[in-house]
Amino acid sequence: MSVHGTACAVLRDVICHHSVPARDAVQRALDAPEATFRDARTAFARVIPLLAEDAYRAAMLPTLTRTIASRSESAALVDWLSDAEDAMVNAVYADLLALAQRHVRDNRVIVPVLQTVQHLLEWDILPENETILERLVHVATAYVATLKSVPRLTVSMHMYVYVSYAVPCKPCAPPVFGLVHSRVSGPF
């Protein structure tokens, strides 16, 4: 049995013997053959619906963003959010915003969060609440003049440009991307 299969078996035992939030949703996610959880794409498709549960969303997002931002498994999140109601899309974006705000100076966390947001924006999965996007752009471009992380600068710039031109809201004042030239050698 694989590590994933063993973990799922243990979780199945836990939910059978203990009270857990949204027991039915967890059982549906885990009710699959072990082989399902060996493949990341099928495993993601099984667990992504747990984001609909408030009890699990905030705890799942940090790990999901690190994985989604670096792999093609983001298709499961895109597919799920494409079919989700506006309130659920807003809730996921709000939790991504809260995560980004808590870790605004920690590139290990904020870069994958911003990459996940960027990916959702590229697939036109937008929150109904435009304020969330404005605040995400503000967080993404915070401290931009002092950033040394090229991935952070890149994703911040992409988000700012996308939101500025493709979304019918007014993002925060333009960031000072021009000030970054002192940290970068050569032309842009």
Question: What is the pLDDT tens value at each position of the chain, 188 positions in all?
Answer: 566 667 777 777 777 787 888 888 888 888 877 777 777 777 788 888 889 998 888 888 988 888 876 555 678 889 999 999 999 999 999 999 999 999 998 999 999 999 999 999 989 999 998 889 989 999 998 888 888 889 999 999 888 888 887 666 554 555 545 444 444 444 44
18 burial (CB, 10 Å; 0-12 / 13-18 / 19+) is exposed
Sorted by where each begins, the domain ranges of the chain are 1-38, 48-182
The CA angle 123-114-166, to the nearest 5 degrees, is 45
Neighbours of 149 (CB within 10 A): 14
CATH number of 48-182: 1.25.40
Q: Report d(CA 94, CA 67) in Å as an integer.
A: 19
Residue closest to 118 by CA, chosen among 131, 137, 143:
137
Q: Is the pTM of this model over 0.85?
A: no
